[in-house]
Amino acid sequence: MSNKLIDLQHISKSFDGDLVLDDLNLYIRENEFLTLLGPSGCGKTTTLRILGGFEHPETGKVIFDGKDITNLAPNKRQLNTVFQKYALFTHMTIAENIAFGLRIRKKSAAYIKDKISYALKLVNLEGYEDRMPDSLSGGQQQRIAIARAIVNEPKVLLLDEPLGALDLKLRQDMQYELIRLKNELGITFIYVTHDQEEALTMSDTIVVMNQGYIQQIGTPEDIYNEPQNAFVADFIGDSNIIDGIMIEDKLVQILGARFRCVDTGFGNNKPVDVVIRPEDVELGAPESGTIRGTVTNLIFKGVHYEMEVLANGYEWLVHSTKMFPVGEEVGIHVDPFNIQIMNKPESEDEEAPAIDV
């Protein structure tokens, strides 16, 4: 991918004595769709607001295209923000809403007219120029907010939970719309969400945050398939996270049974966290598994069955296209490649190790 466009260096920020960002370092490439993902209070929106110039860091610098913009006013930055609350002017038509920033910049009437048409075409709302915002659905209002941002030709679009107020179907439609826009416009998208599915669907790069720290940076596939700690594994999709003992390289003990794995370098007889995704748990006849269990719960999810299986005192979560009824005894097998071993953190909120990206 192309060059570094934004470089956040040693950013720290507190509110009322609470440290929200602690020495955060992150760079963002040109034309990248980067998502800041994490639970409420993890620092993702604060990071976005510092980028947009709405908050100032206590320490550190914001470098944009090689220039220090840490103290630059929001309207002087080549960035536009789309918020969850669309913030459309209700007394203005759609065309007037879209033209607002261009009028402030004293663009000509002909230029503004062209830009309005172009923006409405991009968001598939041609012919809506004279409508009022309150006559539009939530999804349409969100698209107008995006159109208003893109007519200013920002190098970067900041999106703060922009789909949070939409229903599920509309949200999924808008996800595809945003991917299309990003590809057509060739601008950098920085997106904030706590919705894992949204992040996995849209991003080139995901930054998982917790308690002011970056926990992991990677592609959606990396983050899902190779989580670097139990927090990431638990936050991204469903996981079985089980206490284990690494007997030796490629052999781990879980719930009193020994499972082959592919991990090495953890030492011998060391306590570890073992992560197994529900879709990687294979159920079969009782004698075919490494351990035996009993199905205690069953839900049909459309694409697969979601089952809970009680085995050796642990309630396993299992996703399978094959159904095993409640009460049936089953064997549990996991392919060695689908067993992920992690070091146990020394404390609950231990910082993830520094990650070189």
Instruction: Work out how many domains the chain is built from and give that number.
Output: 2
Residue ending a domain, choose from 173, 198, 225: 225
Residue 211 CA to chain centroid, in angstroms?
15
Residues 200 and 335 in one domain: no
Residues 117 and 259 in one domain: no
Q: Return d(Cα 191, Cα 213) in angstroms, integer.
A: 17
Mean pLDDT per 10-residue interval, the chain, length 357 residues: 85 94 96 95 95 96 96 91 79 93 89 92 90 89 87 90 80 85 90 92 96 95 92 91 97 97 96 96 96 98 96 97 97 97 70 41
Residues 50 and 177 in one domain: yes
Residue 29 is predicted with a pLDDT of 95
Helix (H) or strand (E) holding 15: strand 4-15
Residues 152 and 37 in one domain: yes
* SS3 letters across 271-333: EEEEEECHHHCEEECHHHCCEEEEEEEEEECCCCEEEEEEECCEEEEEEECCCCCCCCEEEEE
Question: Which range marks the domain in which residue 188 is found?
Answer: 4-225
Residues 266 and 159 in one domain: no
Q: Return d(Cα 278, Cα 206) in angstroms, integer.
A: 22
Q: Return d(Cα 277, Cα 338) in angstroms, integer.
A: 8
Residues 282 and 178 in one domain: no
What is the reported pTM? 0.85
Q: Which two tokens stand for residue 42?
A: 């993890």
Residue 1 is predicted with a pLDDT of 47
Q: Return d(Cα 30, Cα 46) in angstroms, integer.
A: 21
Q: Return d(Cα 66, Cα 94) in angstroms, integer.
A: 36
Is 196 in contact with 176 (CB distance < 8 Å)?
Answer: no
Residues with Cβ within 8 Å of residue 315, at least 6 apart in sequence: 296, 308, 309
Rounded to 5 degrees, what are φ and ψ at 23? 55, 55
Residues 192 and 142 in one domain: yes
Q: What burial class does residue 322 get, using C-beta atoms within 10 Å of its C-beta: 0-12 exposed, 13-18 middle, 19+ buried?
A: exposed
Residue 355 is predicted with a pLDDT of 40
Residues 11 and 87 in one domain: yes
Residues 167 and 216 in one domain: yes
CATH number of domain containing 150: 3.40.50.300
Query: What single-letter DSSP state applies at residue 17?
Result: T
Q: Return d(Cα 205, Cα 220) in angstroms, integer.
A: 7
Residues 72 and 144 in one domain: yes
Residues 83 and 152 in one domain: yes
Residues 96 and 171 in one domain: yes
Judge whether 202 lies within some domain. Answer: yes
- One DSSP character per residue, 237-266 reads S--EEEEEEEEETTEEEETTEEEE-----S
